[in-house]
Each structure stands twice: as C-alpha cells, then as structure tokens.
Structure 1
Amino acid sequence: MFRGLRIWWILLLIPLVLLTLQPPAYGQIYNIYNKEDWDSVTRINKEKIDTHLSRLMREHNIDMWIIMSREANEDPLMVNISGRWGHRCAYIFYDTGGVRVEFTRIGTHTWYTDYAGLLTKQIVYNREGLKPHLKKFVEERNPSRIGVNISRTIPMADGLTVAMRDYLVDAIGEKYASRLVSAESLAVAFRRLRVPEEHENLKKATEKGSQILYTAFHDGFIQPGKTTAEDLYWHIIELTRKEGLDYSFEPLVMIRRPGLPTSSRVAAREPLKLGDIICIDYGIIYRTLTTDMKRTAYILKKGEQQPPREVKKAIEDAFKARDAFGRMLKPGRTGIELDEVAHRWLKEKNIDGSFYSHSTGNFVHGIGTWTGQHFPDRYGDRVFLPLVEGEHFSLEYHVLARIPGFPEPVSLPMEDSGYITGDGLHLFPQGKMTEIWLVKSEP
C-alpha cells in the first residue's frame, strides 16, 4: 500500500518538476525559439555585464542602476540584460568598485534557467511584495546617484512608467528618491556597445534577410498581370516564417509605374505590370538583432533583357554614393555633421538624391546616432550623438532617376545594415545589394 502511495506521489510531482525545468517563453520578448540562439544572446549579455558595465557606470557617474519592469509592459532594455517575465520586478546593477557589477533581480519568479550565471543574487518575494526588499537593498548600499530609465527623446531609454516611478519613490523613501537621476546616457552607451559575437550575428542576419528577399523575386512567385503587391507582401512574410524568423517591421512594397507620378500609390490589390519598378523596405530579427534593408527589382517588358539605361545609371550612382557615404561614417561624427557632409557630396557629384541613415541594433531604429537635421519630435537628441566604433548602423538614402515614360523623377531607395569601424561603415558582402534584380515577363 505504502509503495503504491509513493508511486502516486512521484507521479504527482512529475508535472511540477517539468514546470520548473521548462524554458521560459523567449519568443515573447526576444523572438527566439531555440536554445542555440538563446545561448548566443546570453553569452553576449553576460560579456557586456561582466566586462563593460562597471566602466560605463563610472563614466556616466551612476552608482546604482534600477530597471523596473512588469509583465506585458517590459522595459526595452530587457533584451540587453536577459530579463524575463515577472509581475513586478526590479533589476538592479550596483557598482561595488570591482571589475564586475553586482547584478540583483527582485521578482516574483525564480530564474530556473539562469545558464550563464548572470545574476549575483536573486530575491523572490511573496505576499509581502517588492517594496520591503527594494527598500532594504537600497538602504544597505547607500548609493549617491541612482539611475532610472527616463528620457524625453530616446524611447529605448524611457522604460520607467509614471506609475512605476511613483512605486519606486514610495518604496525607497524621500532620502533616496532625491538621488534618482536619468540613466539615459548610460542606457545609450550600454545598448549600442557591441561585442564581436554580435557582429557575426549581424552578418548572418543580413545574409538571411537578403536571401529571403532574393527568393521572393526569383522563385517564380511573381507573375505580372496576376500577382499583386499584397500577394508579394504576404509571400515575403511566409518565407520569413519558414526560416523560423520574425520580421523587425512588415514589408513595405513600393511600386513605381510608368505613367504615374512617384507620389501616386498603386493599389495593394492591383496586379503588378510589365515595366514596374518594385522597391521593398524590410527587416528581420535574428538573435535579438534587427536588419533594415531595401531592395529594388524591375519587371522586364517583353523583349527586354535589361532595364532601361537610365535605371542602370541611377543604380550605378546609388552604389557610388553608398561607397562614399560608408567612408564618411566614422566614429566621432554626429548625425547633424554627417547630414551636411553627405548632401554636400551629392551636390558636388551632381547626383539627385537624399541621405537619411540611422543606428540599428535591438530595434530597427536604434538607440544611437541618426543623421538628419534637428527634428525633436522625430529624431530627438540622437542627431547630436557621435558615432561610436562597433555601433550597428543602417546606411539609408535614395537617388532620383529620370526614366522615359515616367512623368517625374523616380525615387530609387537603397539601404543596407552593417557596423561602424575606424575606416567607416563595414557592410557584409553577402548581405548588401549588389545589383538591381530582374523579374522576367514570363516565368
């Protein structure tokens, strides 16, 4: 009888054991669905926290960095610290004066899958709530400056909600609340810091993204007179999902059609036609990194083997501009400065076009440098940020082509993702546009 009871107890415990060992739903925050990808992201985050964060906290004069996060309303920096779910959690980095910061999580769930040993300490609270633990933790360390994620113009550094700020102030008391400061500059520096493994992951991301778009234009799916822009839109998404990937933003399908002004929109459900120029703006997510790329294709008319020479000339000018712009993108240059230098170059070379590039990384429009004029409600302070070596960056611009049959100059947008080096922007050979793609009039 007792032996039978023991067996029943074991059977009852099996679901509990499985529950505690099962991996978290990484896809909810990270768009990750396999262990290999998760291990890569965890290694990267651990290297940054172990090796670089203490230096950055000192450079930005912050003793303690508190990141508050809640389920379904996670702080944008969760992907950079391997943060996970929890109903109300505090992720706390404290500079002890050593090489590595103290990293503590106070939350509602235990990290059963903390493979890399990211945490120094883990505190799980119950009905008493987060407040007493948070108060005790701060009082014991007595920090002079406590950084929190608030920013007027940089959304990735603005993860602390009004309600959670009030909660934090109430928890730590007036004495320590008076020491709260914006961690904006620290958040920017930490998030756009990149290590070698991330460059390799970005290389794979650009190659995977380029291959998806190449396949969409070369697998026979496009049939002029039948296939619509909407069909192509969904085809690209389906190809992305078949690769086990998510998109960083949905494909923007832009049709340039003879006889129509560039500003005219071809209806999404109107069939593609011979002579159409198709421009795609799209990006994927791979190991939390995003790509942002544009590709251009031309649907050959009957009897054509190549696009009109004006189109080819515009593409050649675009590649010349890309090489020149890439050399300009060096550490230390601000977005405002780059905007001025790039447009001066276009004018000197008598090329009609425009230049508007930006940081990428863990979001398609990244936390770092943006090129452009001061446009506060759009770019915020990012146009004043200098480029840093290793920063992930998207070179985005367009050239105008005067093509017979079009009533006005046609905009041909270009974009590729890479990272900043001392010599300029490094683009990956297999992950950048090298030619205009041709779609045959008949399969």
Structure 2
Amino acid sequence: MSLSRAIIGLALLGAAPALAQTPPPAGNLAEAVNPEAPRVLPLRERAKLEDRILAERLDTIVPRLMREQKVDMWVLVAREYVEDPVVMTMLDAENMHARRRTILVFFDPGAGKPVERLTVSRYGLAGLFEPAWNPEQQPDQWAALGALIAARDPKRIAINSSALSQFGDGLTLSQYEGLMAALSPGLRDRVVRTDALAVGWLETRTPAERDIYPGIVRLAHSIIAEAFSNRVITPGKTTADDVVWWMREKVSRLGLTVWFQPSVAIIRQGQKGMLEGDTVIRPGDMLWTDFGITYLDLNTDTQHLGYVLKPGERQAPRGLRDGMAAANRVQDALTASFRTGLTGNQLLATARARAIAAGLVPSIYSHPIGFHGHGAGSSIGYWDNQGPSPSGEHPVRPDTAWSIELNARSVVPEWGGQEVEFRLEEDAYFDGQSVSYLDGRQSAFHLIGAVPAPRRVRR
C-alpha cells in the first residue's frame, strides 16, 4: 500500500484530519469563508505519520538526487544543538536533536542496487539508518567513519558546504577538519562541496506530503478567520497586539507552534503606513496579518486582509475591494509565469512585466516553503529588491511548494485618493506544469463589526 493511501486510511478511521486528504483547489479557486478547522492529530499519531513520510522520502528522493548529481557518497555530520539543517529533517520523530555527534552516510554502490543508509553514531535512528559504529570495538568515531568510507571507495564524496545557500552550508569548520583528517589523501581529493543535494532534499515534496499539506494550510486559514472575526475583535476595544497574542495562545492550545511571531497591523484612512502594538482597532480600519504555523514537519505562511465594518456597511468600500482584486491579479501574473527550469530571477522579471503591462503596481517577494518557512530553493524577488539576486539563480523544480507573497499598490477613492498597499500571501504547489493553491486564496475580506440585521420579508 502506498503511503498516500495509508494516510487516507487513517483519515477514514478518524485518526487523521479528513480535510488533509482533500485534493487542493485547482488554479485560483477562492478559499472557503470561515473554514472549519481540521482535527489535530495526537502526538503519537503525528510521530507515526512523520516517520512513515520520512522513510518514503529517504527511499525515493535521496537516490534520485545522488544519481542526478553523479555523487556516490553523501556524508552529513552534526553535533547536538549545532545541527546541519538537513540532518534535522532526517531525524525520526523521537530524536529532536543530534546526539553528541551524529554522522549520516549515504552510499550508492551502483549497478541498480539500493542506496545504503548508515549512521556512524552511538545511538540508532528508529531503523531508518543502519548502525555502522561499535564504540566498544573502535572508540574513535572519526576513525570508524574513515574506515567505512575507505572500504566503499567512493568516487565523489559530497559534503554540505556552500557560500550561497544556508541550507547547504551545515558542515561546521571543526567537523570538516575532523572529516578530512579521517580520510586518506586520495579520498580527500574526492570530496565535493555542494548545496545541490541539500537544497534538492529540502525543496522536494512527496505525494504524501502533497496530500497532507492542504489540511495544514486549512488549519492556518481557520485560525486567521477566527482571529479576524467578532469572536476575537471588539471594535473600539481590541488592540492589534491583543489579536497577535490571541493567535499565539490559540496555536499553543492546539499543541502546535508558530515559526515566527505573528503580525497584525491596521491600515487606516488618513494614516501613513501601518499601525501596530497597542493601537485600538476602529470601524473603517483595514486589517493585515502575517501568520505561519508548523505541523507534521511542514510550515505555512499566510497574509490576509480584514475590514472592520462601519455602522450600516455590509461590505468593505469598493476601492478596498478593487485593491485586493489588483493583488489577486498580481498573483495571477506570477503563477502563470512558472516554468520548470526557469530561475527565480527569470520568473520575477516575467511576472513583473505581465503585471505592469496590465496596469498594476506590483511588488513580488515569493519564496519556497516546506520544512522551513523561508524554504530551500530559489527566491523570487525581495520586498526591498525587485531586481535579480544571487539567491534567485536556482532553477525552479517540479514537486515544490511556494508562498506566493506579494503586494499591489492601489488608490482608494473613498479614502480621499489615498494610495494603499494590499499585501497577500498564500501557499501553493507547483507540479512542474502549473501552480495550484493548497487551500484556495483570499479574494474577499474577513469582515468584523456590526452584522447587519436580516431583511424583513413582507407577507
């Protein structure tokens, strides 16, 4: 049975959130209004699922990457609390950190044989790696590693060392020196410094991860919808910081974590920039939040907008709604520009040209997402740099997840012609052909404030 089918089976048994298995909306479908939150798995069930997904990743992604890069050995070394970012994603659910020094070795013997997964460590890793060191027989861990490598005689030995990507730069200087001292001069010449394996491992999503990701994003969407509602906000009383800390408490009560401090700000008629902190939310305010959670080893990153109704209003002013629609159109320009093999810089230039030709005023600063909120892979612009950058030179690959993050500036006639920045961010998936939002995208404001009375029906 495939892992994806096994996850669906768990859902049918009530052990996993059923929404997590709902196929993601195609294209630019709007997200649900006031979405129901999926049930969060108990810790034991989470651990089982995380380990099964990890095993599938190790079985499929690592061999493919090593063969693509023509590398027959990959060595990762990490010390407790100074972990390589890749090693942290290869530890099973009951190992939160490297133990003393954890060494992982992948070796491809060729001839169609499976890639070996070995750990030269004192402690095992839930059967995901075969133990390859007996300290009672050889007390020197480095000597044990050297003997293991010499016995396999690899042609190219990859290590995680990169001047460009933090995700491929996890080998510290002292551990590099220990590794090199353990190798014979001939083997040292075969060591290759690269970030390709690390970035490829981190940016690639498996079918199982694709299946669960929509439910994780739905969970984040449900928290934002509740935060930007009358259940949390009382206009004239609630502050921006009150909403921030409500979100933090909500996530904590669910047994989850945020990967950055949530932001909530007020955009107000006649005020330049954003108002935050102890500023009280008032009718007529536009609200903005930036919010992300971590669940089942995956992250979300969402920016949504809300509006506080004035007495008698049923919706946000037309100028604000047009501003959000403009930001949606910038999203369309970006997602339509995705092509396998293009760099992030090329995507940025193409998307900006499309948006500007459509009369929009765009700013695009999108990024991969997955094991990390600002994930491994190519950057597509920065809020303070709308031109090419070194981090945008990585090619875009299939089976990757993205935060489509950007803004459009638009004039709001109802606010005296004030120019307003409409910031949106939604998580999406690129399958190599097209981009689809994992749980839809925002196209209408969250509405807060007085709810209009229902219209009377004459009899």
Q: TM-score, normalised by structure 2?
A: 0.82
User: Contact 1:209–1:431 at 8 Å: present in 2 too?
Assistant: no
Q: Within 5 Å, which residues of 2 pair with 1:99-248?
A: 99-111=113-125, 114=126, 117-125=127-135, 128-248=139-259
Query: What is the one-letter code of the residue matched to 1:95?
Result: D
1:384 Cα deviation from its structure 2 partner: 1.4
Do the aligned partners of residues 406 and 86 (structure 1) sit closer, same or farther apart at CA in structure 2, a change above 3 Å counting?
Answer: farther
Per-residue CA deviation, residues 171-209 of structure 1 (Å, 9 max, x unaligned), is 224432332211311212222222111111211111111
Per-residue CA deviation, residues 67-89 of structure 1 (Å, 9 max, x unaligned), is 00111111101243235431012
SS in 1 for 2:119: strand
Per-residue CA deviation, residues 67-112 of structure 1 (Å, 9 max, x unaligned), is 001111111012432354310121111111134211111113234x
Instruction: Single out whichever of 167-176 and 56-65 deviates more from structure 2.
Output: 167-176
Q: Within 5 Å, which residues of 2 pair with 1:233-272?
A: 233-262=244-273, 265-272=274-281
> How far apart, in 2, do the equivalents of 1:91 and 1:59 lie?
20
> How far apart, in 2, do the equivalents of 1:266 and 1:407 lie?
19
The gaps in structure 1 that reach 5 residues or longer are: 1-31
User: Contact 1:56–1:190 at 8 Å: present in 2 too?
Assistant: yes
Quote the sequence identity (%).
28
> How far apart, in 1, do the equivalents of 2:159 and 2:69 lie?
13
Q: TM-score, normalised by structure 1?
A: 0.85
Paired position in structure 1 for 2:436:
426
- Cα RMSD, aligned residues only: 2.5
The one of 40, 44, 47 equivalent to 1:35 is: 44
Per-residue CA deviation, residues 148-171 of structure 1 (Å, 9 max, x unaligned), is 111112111111111111121222
Per-residue CA deviation, residues 292-332 of structure 1 (Å, 9 max, x unaligned), is 11110011122222111100111122223323422222322
> How far apart, in 2, do the equivalents of 1:405 and 1:214 lie?
25
Per-residue CA deviation, residues 278-297 of structure 1 (Å, 9 max, x unaligned), is 11111111211111111100
Higher relative contact order (CA 8 A, sep 6+): 2
Do the aligned partners of residues 255 and 375 (structure 1) sit closer, same or farther apart at CA in structure 2, a change above 3 Å counting?
Answer: closer
Matched, 1:89 2:90: no
Do the aligned partners of residues 243 and 380 (structure 1) sit closer, same or farther apart at CA in structure 2, a change above 3 Å counting?
Answer: farther
Q: Within 5 Å, which residues of 2 pair with 1:328-347?
A: 328-347=337-356
Paired position in structure 2 for 1:348:
357
Aligned length: 404
1:375 Cα deviation from its structure 2 partner: 9.5
Paired position in structure 2 for 1:388:
397
Paired position in structure 2 for 1:304:
313
Do the aligned partners of residues 267 and 118 (structure 1) sit closer, same or farther apart at CA in structure 2, a change above 3 Å counting?
Answer: closer
User: Contact 1:223–1:441 at 8 Å: present in 2 too?
Assistant: no
1:228 Cα deviation from its structure 2 partner: 1.1
User: Contact 1:296–1:437 at 8 Å: present in 2 too?
Assistant: yes
The gaps in structure 2 that reach 5 residues or longer are: 1-40, 453-459
**Greater helix fraction, Structure 1 or Structure 2:** 1
Instruction: Single out whichever of 172-181 and 61-70 deviates more from structure 2.
Output: 172-181
Do the aligned partners of residues 303 and 374 (structure 1) sit closer, same or farther apart at CA in structure 2, a change above 3 Å counting?
Answer: closer
SS in 1 for 2:316: coil
